[in-house]
Structure formats: structure tokens, C-alpha cells
């Protein structure tokens, strides 16, 4: 039996509700044109605006309330409603505005809403894609375990490199000293280091190993194997940090802009009643 997820929860319950809400709002917009025309200050504008404000507050409460649920089903239900009704909200708010935009607090609130919804879509995408990729990349390993194995490979590679010609020794030392893993947020999000010293070292060792004496080739093969394995571990560690960073970065947009939306929406409502 196929397991339900946040998109098809309860046979697409909230998708159907969102479609009905959009159709009702669109029908009201098309068939009931106020005498003053479509804009936020008409009776239809106030109605759609009130519904929109209630939906914003309800979906903001989801971010707090979801932490109180322990059951998967309850969390999936709230998240499904959050996604579909949040999408419907963009349609309702657009109709509420009557497509009248300008350089004012009202349009600012609308723009913030679009940013919140867009960042929410990206967040849903990351949670659909990256957990699976993290599992494929790490398997049974942990990030701490990878870093420990990289440190052990560094120690062993340096020890062997001391017995090799200076060019090989220097290549290994540069790779061990200059390789970085997620030092900055940009590095974490990109998942790679430009001109990666580890990858470059493997390429250089491939060339340098051709001119070695016969008695050094056994040590060279062992060193080369260690450096190839080390480069693979470095790449996997960077990918894990990249997936983790991308899973969390959207919240740095979603949460602050949600707070900004609430403030702008309050200012919008106050302004409407002051100039009513």
C-alpha cells in the first residue's frame, strides 16, 4: 500500500479545498463588480482582505504549532494545508488588490507575501530532494566519521610522502594543508572548493608517478590509493555539508520575511482604517 505524503494527504484534501477557495474568490471577482470598481477598499476587497489576513495568521501559527506534534500524520496534514492554502492565498490577495499596485505599504505587504510563498516552495523542494541525496551520499557514515577518516588519511599520506621525491612530498603536503571543507556559508552552499587541492594533487600524482624508480613504485601505489580515497572522502563531506546548508538556508528567508509580512500587513490594515 502506497504511503501518503504531504501532497496527496487524505486523497488531496487540501488541494481540493484550495481549488474550491480559488474558484469561489475568482467567481466573486468576475461576477460581482463593486460600483467603485475592483480595489482593496471595495466591499469585495474588504471581504477578500479579511479572508487573506486570517489565512496569513493561521499559516504563521503552523510554524509554531508543528513543533508540538509528534505524529507523522498530524504534521503531514498541517504541512499539506500550509502548502496548498498558501498557494491559494496568493490568488486571493491578488484579487483583493484589484491589480492596483504602487510604491506604498500595501504593495510592500504583497511583495513580502510573494517572497514568503516562494521561499516556502523552495523549502518544500529541498525537503523532497536533499534528504534522499544525503542518504545516498553518506550511507551508514556520519560527517564526523568522514572527517576522522580524512585526518587519518592525511597522517598516513604525509608519512609515506616523506619517503618519496620532493615534488610528490610537496604535492601531498599542499593537499593536506590547503584543502578546506565548508569554511564559509558560500563554500557550504556550493559544495566545492575552487581549484580543489585534493583533486589537483591526485592529478599531479598521476603524472609524477611515471618517472619513479622501480623500488619506489610500491610506495607510490599505496600513496596514490590513499590520496584517491582521501579525495573521495573530501568530496562526500562537502556534499553532505552542501545538502545540510541548502536544507536550512531557506528558513533564513522564510522566517524573517514572514515577520516582515506580519508587520507590513498590520501597517496595511491600520492605514486602511485610518484613511477609511
Structure letter (DSSP) for residue 195:
T
Confidence tier at 2 by pLDDT (50, 70, 90): very low
User: If you ran DSSP here, which 8-state letter would residue 3 be given?
Assistant: P
Q: Are residues 21 and 36 in the same domain?
A: yes
Given a cut of 90, whether residue 49 has pLDDT beyond it is no
Global confidence as pTM:
0.75
| Total count of residues recorded for the chain | 276
Task: Determine the average pLDDT of the residues in 254-262.
Answer: 90
6 domain residue, yes or no? no
Report which of 92, 63, 7 is spatially closest to residue 254, judged by C-alpha positions: 63
59 with 80, same domain: the answer is yes
Report pLDDT for 66: 58
* 46 and 135 co-located in one domain: yes
In a domain, 8, yes or no: no
Whether 5 is covered by a domain: the verdict is: no
Q: Is 130 domain-assigned? A: yes
Residue position matching grid coordinates 474588504 = 46
Helix%, strand%, coil% for the chain, nearest 5: 80, 0, 20
47 near 84, Cβ under 8 Å? no
Same domain for 23 and 87? yes
Output the pLDDT for position 1. 41
User: Residue 65 domain-assigned?
Assistant: yes
Cα(229)–Cα(231) distance, integer angstroms: 5
Using the predicted structure, report yes or no on whether residue 42 has a pLDDT greater than 80: no
- What lies within 8 Å, CB to CB, of 239 at 6+ separation is 133, 137, 191
Q: Could you tell me if residue 4 is inside a domain?
A: no
What cell was used for 90?
496568493
Domain holding 261, by residue range, is 13-139+247-275
Does residue 1 fall inside a structural domain? no
Q: Are 182 and 67 members of one domain?
A: no
The total number of structural domains that make up the chain: 2
Phi and psi at residue 2, in whole multiples of 5°?
-70, 135
Q: Is the pLDDT of residue 253 over 90?
A: no
Assigned domain for 133 exists: yes
Question: Tell me, what's the pLDDT at 170?
Answer: 95
Amino acid at each position: 500500500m502506497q504511503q501518503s505524503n504531504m501532497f496527496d494527504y487524505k486523497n488531496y484534501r487540501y488541494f481540493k479545498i484550495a481549488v474550491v477557495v480559488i474558484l469561489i474568490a475568482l467567481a466573486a471577482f468576475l461576477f460581482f463588480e463593486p460600483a467603485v470598481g475592483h480595489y482593496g477598499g471595495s466591499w469585495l476587497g474588504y471581504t477578500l482582505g479579511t479572508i487573506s489576513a486570517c489565512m496569513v495568521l493561521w499559516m504563521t501559527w503552523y510554524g509554531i504549532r508543528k513543533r508540538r506534534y509528534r505524529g507523522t500524520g498530524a504534521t503531514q496534514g498541517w504541512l499539506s494545508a500550509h502548502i496548498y492554502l498558501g498557494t491559494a492565498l496568493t490568488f486571493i490577495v491578488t484579487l483583493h488588490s484589484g491589480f492596483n499596485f504602487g510604491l506604498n505599504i500595501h504593495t510592500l505587504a504583497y511583495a513580502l507575501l510573494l517572497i514568503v510563498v516562494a521561499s516556502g516552495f523552495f523549502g518544500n523542494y529541498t525537503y523532497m530532494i536533499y534528504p534522499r541525496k544525503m542518504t545516498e551520499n553518506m550511507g551508514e557514515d556520519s560527517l564526523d566519521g568522514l572527517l576522522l577518516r580524512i585526518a587519518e588519511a592525511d597522517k598516513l599520506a604525509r608519512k609515506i610522502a616523506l619517503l618519496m621525491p620532493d615534488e610528490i612530498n610537496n604535492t601531498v603536503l599542499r593537499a593536506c594543508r590547503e584543502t578546506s571543507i565548508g569554511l564559509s556559508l558560500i563554500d557550504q552552499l556550493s559544495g566545492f572548493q575552487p581549484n580543489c587541492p585534493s583533486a589537483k594533487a591526485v592529478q599531479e600524482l598521476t603524472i609524477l608517478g611515471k618517472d619513479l624508480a622501480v623500488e619506489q613504485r610500491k610506495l607510490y601505489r599505496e600513496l596514490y590509493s590513499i590520496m584517491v580515497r582521501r579525495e573521495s572522502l573530501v568530496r562526500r563531506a562537502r556534499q553532505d555539508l552542501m545538502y545540510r546548508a541548502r536544507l536550512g538556508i531557506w528558513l533564513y528567508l522564510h522566517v524573517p520575511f514572514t515577520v516582515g509580512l506580519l508587520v507590513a500587513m498590520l501597517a496595511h490594515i491600520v492605514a486602511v482604517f485610518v484613511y477609511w
